[in-house]
Amino acid sequence: MFTQTLLTGLAIGGIYALMAVGYSLVFSILNFSNFAYGSIIMLGAYIGYYAMVRMGMPIGLAIAVSIVGSGLLCWLNERLAYAPLRKRKASSLFFMISAMGTSIFLENLVYATIGARFYNFPELFAKSNLEFRGISIGVLDVFAMVFSFVAIYGLNLFLQKSRTGIAIRAASYDIEVCSLNGVNIAALIGLVFGLAGALAGISGMFLGMKYIVYPTMGWITNKAYIAAVIGGLGSLPGAVVGGVLLGVLETFVSAYVSSVVRDVFSFSLLVLLLMVMPTGLFGRFLEEKV
Amino acid sequence: MLSIRNLNVKYGQIHALHGISLEVETGRVVAVVGANGAGKTTLMMTLAGLLSPAGGEILFEGTALPKEAYKILGRGICLVPERRRLYANLTVRENLLMGAYLRKDKAGIAADLERMYDLFPIMRERIKQYAGTLSGGEQQMVAIARGLMSRPKLLLLDEPSLGLAPLMVQFMFKTIREINAEGVTVLLAEQNAFQALDMADDAFVLETGRVLVSGSGKELLENPLVRKAYLGVKH
């Protein structure tokens, strides 16, 4: 029972971690919470659904289409909604309001065009399980877990080693100096949103396959947001740890206490943690010597 | 190399630079001195493209400068900003690599990293350390080295001696001369007027956004007006 719960928790934690990393990436560079991110994840699920079910693509290709589609949408989101604010040097409050507006717009766009119907992915392997020493875990869960961690690991490698990755980390610390070092900031921010969108595509696909596809499914990003805050907003290792921690703890609460109190637990955990550690587990370190 | 004509810069209602004109000739060390609020940093930030002028013109090697900061670096002008502003979350090596962001020649970058470690030997021991953990003097070395990694034609230094111990200030000015000897033209803004004038070829004194006097560094050291106002010498 314990190992079983742990594995299920890791699977959902992997998806939380993906979403939390997407949040944190954007936060680390522009210092605001991108509340439109949930809608991008929702659109990623729809794109995947159309690619796989309506156009009959194999699952691998459908995931790729969802990644590219969500990446482009997230990039477009920045171009249309945030770039004009950036040019006017608006405070982060305005970015947040614009993000909320974008989120409401996208959800209602889906209601108005596709409709409020719930869609199910075909039960490809949703119901098939792997059995091992009395532990049973869904193939989809294993796939989601492995794919999430590979994606996060790849992203981390990119951020640590590549020239552009170093520039993204530099910009997260001081965007102005980064432009003095020859970085085209507008292009770099576009890339960051594209990357966050790609992660949204992956998590949208897995969420859609695990549960169902519907216009307000993006609200599950509340959990990703909690995970990102627990880990310390803007910190990528923090987002991963926060996501996995939240996924595992939630699953344990569902299994051993009751699934009814699961969300109460998540939000209480957030409040408690913030009282003890206001900057989260891996809050940013800032040191300036004068 | 650089000629500034009738440059005006405003922050909203505040008129920070009132029609400044000055020349920087190739291969020289040029100092801009003046008190707090004279407009030194405004001038530096405008040259680097972080502020846009309200009027006047800036010509670099005969042509106007682009508007965006990253394109200006591409032209060969690099600003080492006031208070160094290193990336505290990156290692010393990564900070230096950021300086070389626009360069594609891997071998050249590796060779220049070595050159920087020779210029500031203490940095070699700090390669893998986060820049936020360095002392003020070490941070200033890394900041200058980061600027040099772009191989600038014109290096802009904003208050390189700010907050440094006296011995470190001397070392920094000596290093600036060495950098200049290797062919980099230097424009530096300094509050530390005496030492800046002493080492500079040419100098300008800025007061409330206007050029008060200009001349060679030695001339300005002897100028009674400058001596009284900035060097604290009584007559």
| C-beta of residue A118 within 8 angstroms of C-beta of residue A212 | yes
Quick check: is A287 in a domain? no
Average pLDDT of the residues in B83-88: 94
Average pLDDT, chain A: 91
Q: Where are the alpha helices (DSSP H) in B80-223?
A: 92-99, 106-119, 136-148, 166-181, 193-199, 217-222
pLDDT band at A234 (very low <50, low <70, confident <90, very high): confident
Instruction: Give all domains of chain B, ordered by start, each with its CATH number.
Output: 2-230 (3.40.50.300)
ipTM, interface predicted TM-score of the complex: 0.93
Taking residue B160's Cβ as centre, other Cβ atoms within 10 Å add up to 24
Per-residue pLDDT, A4: 87
User: What is the amino acid identity at position A45?
Assistant: A
Contact B99 A289 (CB under 8 A): no
In chain B, residues with a C-beta closer than 8 Å to the C-beta of A180 are 48, 50, 69, 73, 78-79, 81
pLDDT digits (tens, 9 = 90+) for A179-221: 999 999 999 999 999 999 999 999 999 999 988 999 999 998 8
Binary contact (B70, A173; C-beta < 8 A): no
pLDDT score of A287 more than 60: no
Mean pLDDT calculated for residue range A145-170:
95
> Best residue in A173, A176, A180 to probe B by mutation, most B CBs within 10 Å?
A180
Q: State the pLDDT at residue A134.
A: 77
Per-residue confidence (pLDDT) for residue A124, from 0 to 100: 67
- Residue B117: CB atoms within 10 Å: 19
A177 touches chain B (CB under 8 A): yes
* A285 and chain B in contact, CB less than 8 A: yes
Structure tokens, B210: 């206007």
Phi, psi of A235 (to 5 degrees): -100, 125
Residue B161 touches partner A, C-beta closer than 8 Å: no
A36 belongs to a structural domain: yes
Mean pLDDT on A267-271: 90
Kindly report the CATH number assigned to the domain that includes residue A113.
1.10.3470
For residue A267, tell me if it sits in a domain: yes
Q: List, in order, residues 6 or more apart from A213 with CB less than 8 Å away.
A: A42, A45, A46, A49, A118, A119, A120, A121
DSSP lists the bridge partners of residue B80 as B157
- Can you give the pLDDT at residue B234? 58
Residue B158 has pLDDT above 60, yes or no: yes
Nearest by CB to A289, which of B78, B98, B135? B135
Interval A35-74: pLDDT, tens: 999 999 999 999 999 999 999 999 999 999 999 999 999 9
pLDDT of A127 > 50? The answer is yes
Q: What pLDDT score does A125 carry?
A: 61
Residue A282 covered by a domain: no
Which residue range forms the structural domain that includes residue A96? Answer: 2-276
Averaged pLDDT, A74-89: 96
State the alpha helices, DSSP H only, in B85-153.
Answer: 92-99, 106-119, 136-148
* Number of domains observed in the structure of chain A: 1
DSSP reduced 3-state for A35: coil
Residue A114 inside a domain? The answer is yes
Pairing between β-strand B154-158 and β-strand B14-24 as defined by DSSP bridges:
unpaired
